[in-house]
Structure 1
Amino acid sequence: MTPSSARSATDNTWSVVGERWTMLILRECFRGHRRYEHFRTKLGIGSNVLNDRLRVLTEEGILDRLPYQERPVRHEYRLTKKGQDLYPVLLALMSWGDMYKNETPPVRLIHSTCGHEAQPQMTCSYCGERIAWREMAADIHPDAW
């Protein structure tokens, strides 16, 4: 990987998920909504922007576009595995917003297995301990820059 290709890989990530409407569409998908009209109405998004975002999300393999009606043909959008893997990103943004932008958080996360409120947190995949940002070190590949 050349330095420019490493940088463009990071830029490519932001070009997909770094746009406001993308995260709002994904939020609705994680809430179980799949249909174009719901996205347009709930988000108050213009058709041109919604069409563009849904196109990018399907081209990137984050959503699958599947027909649910034949006459007229209508489609719904379902999260792929790649899309489902964005859930921690959405939770992290929600947690930050709850801390700094909302006096009363609008959503509580409930762990369906035990029924208790859950707080998103980063933990070590090896030891299971919670990780603060100062406890994380980046081992950067020599060709990354």
Structure 2
Amino acid sequence: MSVAPLPEGDWIRGISIKQPWTAAILTGAKTIENRTRPWRTSWVLLHASQQIDRPALRFPLVARTIRDRQLLTGAVVGVARITNCHQVPEGSPPCSPWAHVGAWHLELADVQELPLPVPARGQLGPWRPTEDLVDQVLQQLPYLRP
């Protein structure tokens, strides 16, 4: 089976997300990521940041979703595709139980968990991964193509 070559340029970004939110995305249950600013559609490396949102662990929806999952930090743990970015009009019902009022909602699809986390440093906002980091991810997901 031949694999198409990767496109040049910015086909993938990194997104740093605190645990347990990253784990909830990896389960496939959390398909919305909340952000303060809009993002463009693209593939993203799912980076579990160094911090854990400890109060979130007490939310029943979160607790049920991440039960028995390890909360890894400081590593790229998966990939996903942002298919849309929107805000829900004020007074409208939320688009998802995971959506925060007033936030930009990134719709996530094609989520794939890495078999082995890749240690990495992330940052706020969309960040550009190094070529080496992308190569390490693609070694684990060889058929991933934009």
- Normalised by the size of structure 2, how large is the TM-score? 0.27
Higher strand share: 2
Higher helix share: 1
Higher relative contact order structure (alpha carbons within 8 Å, sequence separation ≥ 6):
2
Bigger CA radius of gyration: 1
